[in-house]
Amino acid sequence: MNWKRLSRAIEISAFLLPFAAFWVLFRLVPVLYGFFISLYKWDLLGDARFIGLRNYVNLGRDPRFWNALGVTLEFAAIAIPLIVGIGLLLALFIFGGRRRRWAAAAEAGFFFPYLLTVSVVGLIWRWMLDPDFGIVLLVLRGWGLPAPVFLNEPRWAIPAIAFATAWWLSGYRMVLFRAALEDIPEEFYEAARIDGASGARMFFSITLPLLKPAVLFALVLTTISGFIVFGQVLIMTAGGPGRVSEVLALYLYRFGFEYLEMGQAAAVGVVLFLIILGLTLVTFRWLGYGSSL
């Protein structure tokens, strides 16, 4: 009997082992290793001196770190609602027209940018927003509107990058939301209609509550990608003008691989992880989902 249980335990372990091995070695160990690295001062020869939490203290004292944190928060505050909001709006459009011929083609068009790699997205928008020849500026000016030189203007750099990111990513959210809309039973709407509910009422009392799990999933996903934003910033502004668009990931990169302050860069990684963890917990709390995922 015991032999049977043992062989079953071995079998389960064997099924789990391949995944667990990669997971432990390249996901779990690095988190712990990163914390370990952040406790040392590393010099170029690879020698390390234990300095406790000094790297974290240095971060706290570095105005450039606080700037990067602020910039990242600004990016997240603009990009996250933009991505999720546009995704939701497009999904409602597509779902509303689901019996028409254009719906599938429109969905494909809105979705496609998601398949582009970040460098392509960054280069396209850098060109579209070029201060002298950018088509967006030229078109806006052609309409007689005052167009800021987006990427070179401190106030506009981050919003412009956030907008480009929304163009890139919201199509994916749209597909997720559209699928969730399809899961809502038609009878709910019929019953509401019989009770004389208005369209707005149905949206807020049926559609939105039932979309909650999908919205939660999209929010968590988008929050994470908002806080680790890197590629589009590097390509569109390289953190400029000045440092107005230097996000945390870029700060981490520069400290690690330009100034070779590996300990401090590792500390930024730890801080970034804690921020993501905290925000995810808040999102779950806020939307009232403890156990349903």
Name the one range near another protein by CB under 8 A: 54-62, 147-155, 191-199, 273-281.
273-281
Q: Which is nearer to another protein, 144 or 196 (CB)?
A: 144
Candidate list 37, 76, 160, 162; residue touching another protein; CB under 8 A: 37
239 binding another protein? (CB under 8 A): no
- 262 touches another protein (CB under 8 A): yes
Q: Which of residues 72-131 bind another protein (CB under 8 A)?
A: 93, 97, 102, 104-120, 123-125, 127-128, 130
**Nearest CB to another protein, comparing residues 36 and 198:** 36
Residue 286, interface with another protein (CB under 8 A)?
no
Answer for which of 209, 277, 285, 286 binds another protein (CB under 8 A) is: 277
Dihedral sign for Cα atoms in the order 111, 113, 117, 118: negative
Of positions 27, 61, 99, 101, contacts another protein by CB under 8 A? 27
- What are the φ and ψ backbone dihedral angles of 183, each rounded to 5 degrees? -80, -15
Q: Beta partners for 40?
A: 50
**Residue 107 or 246 having the CB closest to another protein:** 107
Told to check if 256 binds another protein by CB under 8 A, we report yes
Q: How far apart are the first and last CA of the chain?
A: 36
Per-position b or e across 24-51, b if 16+ CB within 10 A of its CB: eeeeeeeeeebeebbbbbbeeeeeeeee
Residue with tokens 């509910």: 197
Tell me the two tokens of residue 161: 């990058």
Part in contact with another protein (CB under 8 A); list of ranges 70-78, 148-156, 187-195, 225-233: 225-233
- Asked if residues 287 and 212 have their Cβ atoms less than 8 Å apart, the reply is yes
Q: How many CA atoms lie within 13 A of 88 on its CB side?
A: 17
Q: Considering CB under 8 A, how many residues would be counted as binding another protein?
A: 90
Judge whether 187 and 101 are in contact, CB under 8 Å. no
Site residues (CB under 8 A) for another protein, limited to 51-70: none
